[in-house]
Amino acid sequence: MSNPKALITGASAGIGKSYAQRLARRGYDLVLVARDKARLEALAGELSHDTGVNVEVLVADLTQSADVALVENKLEGDPAISFFLNNAGIATIAPQLQTPVDVIETLMYLNVTAATRLALAAGRAFTARGAGTLVNMASAVALSPERFNGVYSASKAALLALTHALTKELTEKGVRIQAVLPGATRTEIWERSGGDIDKLPPERVMDVDELVDAALKGLDMGEVITIPSLPDIQDLVDAETARQKLSPNTSRSHPAARYL
């Protein structure tokens, strides 16, 4: 029997690379997507040698619509793909009012437009097949946007909202969905955004492999939202309960009494 196959965006380093290593050990063949061909090929060779799985390399710049389409076509056209890690993204740490417009446009295209297109492509593919796993890599700042650059936080909040919106539709059709909300994680995204993670208190920074192990455990446990560092899951349950309680009263035929 052939192995299941996982497609991972942002696979050349950091969270994507760690997922690739762990999914290979779980017996998944892989499709690795990123811009850096040399890094992808080196990782593919390493994983094939160490685990014996088959690894494909798909070089794509997901800030370009045509390259997003290539990955959409792969997700929908390869029936062996049963796991999609929607991970590619960039960050910026500048104060939001000083964030350059070109940075905003690139970040929002990659983190929101491309991520949304690919999530929906995976959703279409997996519901047609009656099975599959979609993991959206969001961020804890989706819940606490005041703690980071507002543009980045907003992009991750969009991915969290998309996960909430897709949950019922996908799970009814046999598809697992999860949003992972990491806090500060030791990856290259900090240096690329102009930051220095070593300036953060060490007790706030998680190792990338620990993050991915926790996220996969959360997936195995059936969590739709996984916050790897959250000590008490009841805090998340309470927040979700409060959110759901608001829902029926957010659209009514007349204003609330206090506005009259």
DSSP 3-state of 63: coil
Q: What is the DSSP letter of 109?
A: I
Please, what's the largest Cα pairwise distance for the chain? 70
Q: Which amino acid is at 169?
A: E
19 is an active site residue: no
Cα Rg, the chain, nearest whole Å: 19
Q: What is the DSSP letter of 87?
A: -
166 neighbors 124 (Cβ within 8 angstroms): no
Q: What is the CB-side half-sphere exposure of residue 11 using CA atoms within 13 A?
A: 32
Q: What is the DSSP letter of 255?
A: -
Active-site residue, selected from the candidate residues 19, 28, 109, 152: 152
DSSP 3-state of 5: strand
The 132-137 sheet, strands edge to edge:
55-59, 29-34, 5-9, 81-86, 132-137, 175-180, 225-226
DSSP 3-state of 187: coil
Tokens at 65, concatenated:
């619509």
Residue with tokens 């070593």: 198
14 neighbors 208 (Cβ within 8 angstroms): yes
142 neighbors 181 (Cβ within 8 angstroms): yes
Which amino acids are annotated catalytic? 152
